[in-house]
A and B are shown apart, each in its own frame.
Chain A
Amino acid sequence: MTKTLKSLLAAVACAVALPNAAAAESATIQAIKDRGTLLCSGHNGSYFGFVEVNDKNEWKGLDIDLCRAMTTAILGDPNKAQIVPLSWAQRFPALQSGDVDIIIKATGWTMGRDTELGLQFSLPYFFGGAQLMAHADLGVTQATELEGGTVCVEAGTTIERIVADYMKTIDVEHTMVSYEKAAELRAAYLANRCDAFAAWGPFLAVLRATEIDNPDKHVILSDQLSSEPIAAAMRQGDEDFVDLTNWMIAALLIAEEHGITMANVDEVAANPPNPTVARLLGSTPGIGERLGLRDTWAREMIAAVGNFGEIYHRNLGENSPYKLERGLNNLWSHGGLLYAPMLD
């Protein structure tokens, strides 16, 4: 009897231990490979430049391209990305419950999210801060002049908190009104229901440039309320997956630094100009093994979506309707804040 029990226990222990041992490198990556798709966050609607839907009912945008890049790195095919539509409020619970593998959704890296919510963030891939836009006829140029005014914000984002904190710091009495949807917020602002419109700087610039009939009637105030590092968020406790995300972003930046594009990646790989590029594109083996991937993952990824600059220009910059300057979101060598770790 005891013998049977013991062997039964041993079998159970084995059954429990074995999958763990096999998945020791990264449970998430293993799950993605088994499933054959990477589950990324989409949006319940669209968020200009980052998450949109094109005329063919396909997702596009900066965040979507990063998800495709990641999918190519892991599974070798950008079309194996599965985009799950999520609202802002739903994104973190959805990550915890396993509805998505990763959140790449214009998400700021905050202490609360990093600690209390049990998330882990990648390298920042974008910097954008909260700013205020006001009707030009109010004659306002900075936030201190908004005394007694009404500020509208999108509900459930970090902006709400940032504006409240900032206005408290500069001691400006104001009324805050929250809206769930960007379009509502926009309509409320245009209907003069709010004096100022608090949002993410790039979003305001896009809005002012493309959506508002006369851009000169609106001023973006000089105050930089915050500079939020935007990063991919993952579940705590899977360092190898975080490493992979970091190196996915790093590879896109290194590729831009060395002028490797979607068009020339195969040429460059065949004839690498320097050792870093040779390592990046797998011409010198090693980059794959360290992450548990193929040696050509970065090369395939760049062939599929391009380098970081190409992704930026396609979705936000000169090749998009928004024509947003790179500003802080340029490589460090061009006066921006984007910095890749060393590829040794």
Chain B
Amino acid sequence: MTDIAAVVSAPPKPSLLEVLRSRAFATKTDSLLTVVFLALILYLVYLALDWALFGAVWGADSADLCPQAEGACWSVVAARHRLILFGLYPYELHWRSTLACVSIVATVILSCLPYFWTARRLSALWIVGFAAYYLLMEGSPIGLEQVTTDQWGGLSLTLFLFASVVLLGMPMGLGLALARRSKLPVISLGVSILIDFIRSLPLLTTLFTAAVVVPILLPDWLHGDKIWRVIVAFALFFACYQAEVFRGGFQAIHKGQFEAGMALGLSAWRIMDKIVLPQVFRHALPGTINMVVVTFKETAIVIIIGFFDILASANAAFGTGEWAPYFLEVYAFVGLIYWVFIFSLSQYGEYLKRRMTVAAR
């Protein structure tokens, strides 16, 4: 008995030293390659650290030290970070933009928590979150000084665009995916044509049309604010792609499940709601996370239609005589901000995947 147990139990975990020996230093060539690449990596890390930390100049007041500095000039970030974060938003009112940012981030984080995953809680959360953002940024409805949307900018605008596009686009995408499966040819064909039409246009064209061409074609009272036109167009674009992601999820579900639902006397809506959609979401999850991450990065495209998003305000941050040589530092800072958000999003995606695997077991 004991013999068998010894045989069945897993082999002892190799120590770190053993792993290193077998993986990195097994032969002479292996050892040589390991040493060479390790040295190279260390050298590159040293170069990066030397530029970013050791030789760098810090603090907004030490800008005049920058031309002689060996490394990065972080003074540009110290002096101009408010421009990068808030764009053209009036300087004294930045606290409002900060709070608005927080409300959007909080909304997104909260809607990621399983507690909020019912239609009522989720919609209540979004309405509250977006209303808070809008009221803080615009100001006039709650008696604060009015700030028109063309002054919105920086990180707070990027986050707002991203959150509204995803939150509007996700239900629209589901709607389109369902409509595409409709038994009425008018609806399914119409939606297929719409999806294929919008997917065959570049995002830039779609946004340019919404921002610039629509006001020329439509009467004045139909214009709305440029930012809403762009968000709606962007959300439609997102929805068309997301609809295809959902379609993949639908196709993974066997016809038998629908038939079983009908045999049990469930209504079509209940079959969707209780049997099909939960599985569709699970199947569509990796593609969805992908779409969301790509959309976060794609918001930068609104620079072309004159929005002062985080990348545009970064451009403005190094766009004066004194800061012009330090664009690399500004881009590094913006890159770090992007990385923090996108890395959190993808980690959240991993968490969801693990959670759903548990559910499937």
User: Of residues A57, A187, A213, A320, which shows the largest number of chain B Cβ atoms within 10 Å of its Cβ?
Assistant: A57
Contact assessment for A90 and B305 in the assembled complex, using a CB-CB cutoff below 8 Å:
yes
Q: Which of B83-91, B109-117, B260-268, B340-348 contacts A (4 or more CB under 8 A)?
A: B83-91
Q: Which of B44-52, B212-220, B275-283 contacts A (4 or more CB under 8 A)?
A: B212-220
Q: Flag the segment in B159-167, B185-193, B241-249, B307-315 that touches A.
A: B307-315
Closest Cβ of chain B to A54, distance in Å, is 7
A120 to B312, CA, bound (A): 29
- The answer to whether A57 and B90 touch (CB under 8 A), given A97-B216, A98-B215, A322-B321, is yes
Residue of B86, B304, B306 touching A57 (CB-CB under 8 A) = B86
A97 close to B315 (CB less than 8 A) = no
- A55→B312 contact, CB < 8 A: no
Q: How large is the interface on A (under 10, 10 to 19, 20 to 34, 35 or more residues)?
A: 35 or more
Chain A interface mostly: loop
Give CA–CA (A46, B90) in the complex, Å: 17
Chain A residue at smallest Cβ distance from B67: A213
Q: In whole angstroms, what is the CA distance A90 to B306 when docked?
A: 8
Verify if A339 is at the interface (C-beta below 8 Å from B): no
Does A258 sit at the interface, judged by CB under 8 A?
no
Q: Say yes or no: is A74 at the interface (Cβ < 8 Å to chain B).
A: no
Q: Tell whether B59 is near chain A: CB-to-CB under 8 Å.
A: no
Chain A residue at minimal CB-CB distance from B148:
A82
Contacts of A181 in B (CB 8 A): 315
**Which listed residue, B83, B208, B324, touches A53 by the CB 8 Å rule?**
B83
> Number of B residues whose C-beta is below 8 Å from A?
39
Q: Does B177 contact A (CB under 8 A)?
A: no
| B320 (CB) vs chain A CBs: closest residue | A52
Q: Nearest residue in A to B302 (C-beta to C-beta)? A: A44
State whether the Cβ of A69 lies closer than 8 Å to any Cβ in chain B. no
Any B CB within 8 A of the CB of A99:
yes
B91 touches A58 (CB 8 A): yes
Residues of chain B within 8 A (CB-CB) of A301 are none
The reply to whether A44 and B87 form a contact with Cβ atoms under 8 Å apart is no
Contact B215 A53 (CB under 8 A): no
- Partner of A85 from the list B90, B312, B324 (CB cut-off 8 Å) is B312
B86-109 CB contact bits vs A (8 Å, 1 = yes)?
Answer: 111111000000000000000000
A206 to B322, CA, bound (A): 11
Is the Cβ of B315 less than 8 Å from the Cβ of A44? yes
Question: In the complex, what residues of B have CB within 8 A of residue A213's CB?
Answer: 325
Docked-complex contact B87 and A57, CB < 8 angstroms: yes
How distant is A37 from chain B, measured CB to nearest CB, in Å? 9
Give the docked Cα–Cα distance between A337 and B325 (Å). Answer: 32
Q: A49 contacts which chain B residues (CB < 8 A)?
A: 321
- A121 near B: Cβ within 8 Å? no
A13 within 8 A of B: no
User: Could you name 5 residue pairs across A and B whose Cβ atoms are closer than 8 Å?
Assistant: A53-B317, A86-B306, A94-B306, A97-B213, A207-B324
Which residues of B approach A to under 8 Å, CB–CB?
79-80, 82-83, 86-91, 148, 150, 153, 208, 211-213, 215-216, 226, 303-308, 312-313, 315-322, 324-325, 327
Q: Sorted from nearest, which 6 A-B pairs have the closest CB atoms?
A: A46-B319, A321-B321, A45-B315, A97-B215, A93-B212, A53-B316
